[in-house]
Amino acid sequence: MPLFRRQSAEDAHRIPRKDRTGVSPVKAGAVLIVAALLITYFGFTKHIPFTHGYRLNAVFQNAVNIKSGSPVRIAGVNVGKVMGVDKAGGGDASEVKMELSNKALPIHKDATMKIRPRIFLEGNFFVDLHPGTPSSPTLSDGDTIPLTQTAAPVQLDEVLTALQSDSRTDLQDLLRSYGEALKHQPTAAEDASQDPEVRGKDAARALNLSLRYSGPALRDVSIVNQALLGTQAHDLSKLVDSFGKVAGALDTNEGALQGLITNLNITTGAFAAQSGNLSATIRLLAPTLRNANRAFAALNAAFPPTRAFAHDILPGVRQTAATINASFPWIAQTRALLGPNELRGLARQLQPTTAKLANLTDQTITLLPQIDLIDRCLTNVVLPTGDIKINDGSLSSGVENYKEFWYTMVSLAGEGQNFDGNGMYVRFQPGGGSDTVSTGRTTFGGDQLFGNAIAKPLGTRPHFPGHRPPYKPTVPCATQQLPDLNGPAANIGPVESSIRSQPQTTAALAAAAATRASRSGQRSVAEQLVARLNPFAAATKPRGARP
């Protein structure tokens, strides 16, 4: 059963398709196609129209193998492409225009370019770009790399074109002779002058043996080639340019060049005649160069302070002339001062005194050790002994014994004060008693002295040991032990020894007199000190006197 739909007010206002005025399907389809084309273009080219990247030009001697679209690579990575190739100037050179991406930047002024063949599957050629050294200035957008910094590959047809018919025949003869030389079996006469390692072997086998030395040799050659590049930019190009100038100068004077070659032949012959000495010299060249490098390094390190010193001394050098002029009056006065009537005469008069002072200095060297012994005796024995406090029972003073000595001197000074016309005297008040005391015979006159004591003597302190202690003049005083002033030897001696003295015999008195006579001929330390310090003692000393 057919269905019927009731017409509404909305259906009544509908516009027929043919009467509609919106976007046509054709226009919508065209817009869609253009959008798809743009998306596809941007997706494959990755380039926005009417814009460009970093542009760089380079001049090549031969760029026939390069065309628009050829890649530009740095270390095998694509960083741009060739935009076009034009003729450069009026010669055969070509100018290649390239556009590089930002990852290729920066490009320095010493950058180099080479046209290299691509791998077999890629085909065609590409531009190999070396961006240069960081220390060199950078190139701006649109700059050009000159012909001296570019290189193009040599094609096989170019090599064959250079070989004309005569050259080809010569090349064939060369290769044939070279092959025969490699296969030639040497004779005994030819082997006589050869190295033992290659004797009896043909040239090919000997050449193969030389390959074992090729590694170190090629390494050294590489080091030499690296050194030939120089230490600064364009060192090698400057060397080539300078060599070209030298060759041009030699070419202008053939006679001089002929003489140079003749002299070079003579020089080479002289070197050959002295091959042994030359080998020894070359062998010593390596350590010499090492020492020279160290010396040059030290010299190079010394240059900055030397340069600074030279710069700082320039003001003084400029003032040298004025200083010399100002010193002339002083030099004149100094010359007069050093004349015979001035310092020269004074020096002549002081010459005897100087000789005496020299003699005094020499004698002082002998005196000073004796003074040192005295100082050691005073420091180690005398002064410490004076610091000892003597224990004398109820009569003890409680102070060091050297103070007691000075207390006694003060008392004697007070006792002997000059209060009458008799002068300085020490007065003692002797007393009488029933006890007679004898001091024994004196060592001077031999008389025996007596005295009367009110009370009986208790004894002597320290007690008399019965004999004098031994005297050893060869033993230094500083090595002696300190005396024990409060020891057994300091005890009170017996009363008998204090009352009745030991009688001295005539022999003992004679011996004491002989001792005094022998000691009277010796000078004291003070006398010796004065004699040594007196510069005129040698002149006034009688002949035969003791020093």
CA distance 541 to 547: 9
| Same domain, residue pair 48 and 149 | yes
Residues 51 and 148 in one domain: yes
Query: Which residue's structure tokens are 């300085």?
Result: 424
For residues 52 and 62, membership in a common domain is answered with yes
Q: Which domain holds residue 442?
A: 431-504
* Total domains present in the chain: 4
Q: Provide the pLDDT for residue 420.
A: 61
Q: Does 223 share its domain with 366?
A: no
The last residue of a domain, from among 154, 188, 205: 154
Place of tokens 């050691």: 376
In this structure, are 150 and 53 located in the same domain?
A: yes
Please give the average per-residue pLDDT across 421-442, as a whole number: 67
Global pTM reads 0.29
Query: Which of the four pLDDT bands, split at 50, 70 and 90, describes residue 45?
Result: low
Q: Are residues 142 and 180 in the same domain?
A: no
The more confident residue out of 514 and 465 is: 465
Are 120 and 171 part of one and the same domain?
A: no
Residue 468 belongs to some domain of the structure: yes
pLDDT at 313 over 50: yes
> Within this chain, do residues 225 and 138 fall inside the same structural domain, yes or no?
no
Mean pLDDT estimate for the chain: 76
pLDDT tens string 48-71 = 555 567 888 898 887 777 888 889
- Checking if the pLDDT of 8 tops 60, the result is no
Note whether residue 326 is domain-resident: no
- 230 versus 337: the higher-pLDDT residue is 337
**Residue at which a domain ends, from 105, 129, 154:** 154
Q: Are residues 103 and 202 in the same domain?
A: no
* 360: in domain: yes
Domain-located, residue 471: yes
Q: How confident is the model at residue 111 (pLDDT cuts 50, 70, 90)?
A: very high
Residue 518 lies in a domain: yes
Mean pLDDT for the stretch of residues 285-312? 86
Instruction: Characterize 245-259 residue by residue with b for buried, 16 or more Cβ atoms within 10 angstroms of its Cβ, and e for exposed.
Output: eeeeeeeeeeeeeee
Q: How confident is the model at residue 392 (pLDDT cuts 50, 70, 90)?
A: confident
- Asked if residue 513 belongs to a domain, the reply is yes
pLDDT of residue 176: 84
Is the pLDDT confidence value at 247 over 60?
Answer: yes
Mark whether 494 and 521 lie in a shared domain: no
pLDDT score recorded for residue 49: 57
Under 8 Å between Cβ of 380 and 476: no
Of 47, 57, 45, 229, the closest CA to residue 127 belongs to 57
Q: Which residue has the higher pLDDT, 395 or 314?
A: 314
Which has more pLDDT, 529 or 173? Answer: 173
Give 95-109 pLDDT, tens digit per residue: 889 898 888 888 999
Residues 498 and 360 in one domain: no
User: Is the pLDDT score of 533 beyond 60?
Assistant: no
Mention every residue, 6+ apart, whose C-beta is less than 8 A from residue 396: 389, 390
In this predicted structure, the answer to whether residue 93 has a pLDDT above a threshold of 60 is yes
Q: In terms of domains, do 212 and 358 share one? A: no
How sure is the predictor about 539, in pLDDT bands with cuts at 50, 70 and 90? very low
Distance of CA 62 to the CA centre of its chain: 56
